[in-house]
Chains A and B, each alone.
Chain A
Amino acid sequence: QVQLVESGGGVVQPGRSLRLSCAASGFSFSNYAIHWARQAPGKGLEWVAVISHDGSYKHNADSVKGRVAISRDNAKNTVYLQMNSLRPEDTAIYYCARDLVSSGGFYFDYWGQGILVTISS
């Protein structure tokens, strides 16, 4: 069955960097776009970034522009979210999710369970 498993979260000091991973299984990974979304404590979900099936298209939310980079390794069935210059407001549960299509432009048909990232000194 389709599985997405996030890892790499934890407690990080403000200003530092963190790389999250999303390991996929149960489907032909290289055929699908993948997204990252996050949910801060007490807030609604916020879309963060998307990468197309082959990595040729990437797009970030304005709230993280310049601080976040999404990438993927289709040989490892993994998508990464590199987050730099972390701020307390980046504290959230981060989810990866599969887009319905390869280019990324539809809804998310599968999600991971999420990983907690806490930015605190």
Chain B
Amino acid sequence: DIQMTQSPSILSASVGDRVSITCRASHDLNNYLAWYQHKPGKAPKLLIYKASTLETGVPSRFSGSGSGTEFTLTISSLQPDDFATYFCQQYNTYWTFGQGTTVDIK
């Protein structure tokens, strides 16, 4: 099984801040890594797939980077709508998720 370790678990930030979230995998993912945004009571929303490809309609302030076993989601300038939980998912071998990162207001 591929294990995913996501950090930090909580990130306190202000509007306009640049924030980054990291996911580390126990095996090489061949860049089969997706990022999602999740707000309470809502359906999770796909942001990025194949490690760095932005899903259609997702604002360009979101970006993904990394390769192999280490990946990063960056929000270049945090907006009020971005306070949410973010999680990564590997789909190289079946599917495993990171534990999630809650971005809250500082």
Q: Which residues of A contact B (CB under 8 A)?
A: 4, 35, 37, 43-47, 50, 59, 61, 95, 97, 100, 105-114
> Which residues 4-55 of B have a CB within 8 angstroms of A?
6, 32, 34, 36, 41-46, 49, 55
A61 CB, nearest partner CB in chain B, Å: 8
A112 to B96, CA, bound (A): 18
> A107 and B94: CB pair below 8 A?
no
Nearest A residue to B33 via CB reads A107
Give the A-B contact count at a CB cut-off of 8 A: 55
A92 CB, nearest partner CB in chain B, Å: 13
Chain B residues near A45: list those with CB within 8 A. 87, 89, 97, 100
**Contact-residue bracket for chain B:** 20 to 34
Q: A46-B97, A47-B97 are in contact. Are A110 and B43 (CB under 8 A)?
A: yes
Chain B residues near A114: list those with CB within 8 A. 43
> 27 A-B pairs, CB-CB below 8 angstroms?
A4-B43, A43-B99, A44-B87, A44-B97, A44-B99, A44-B100, A45-B87, A45-B89, A45-B97, A46-B97, A47-B94, A47-B97, A61-B94, A95-B44, A100-B49, A105-B91, A106-B32, A107-B32, A107-B46, A107-B49, A107-B91, A108-B44, A108-B46, A110-B43, A111-B44, A113-B41, A114-B43
Chain A residues near B46: list those with CB within 8 A. 107-110
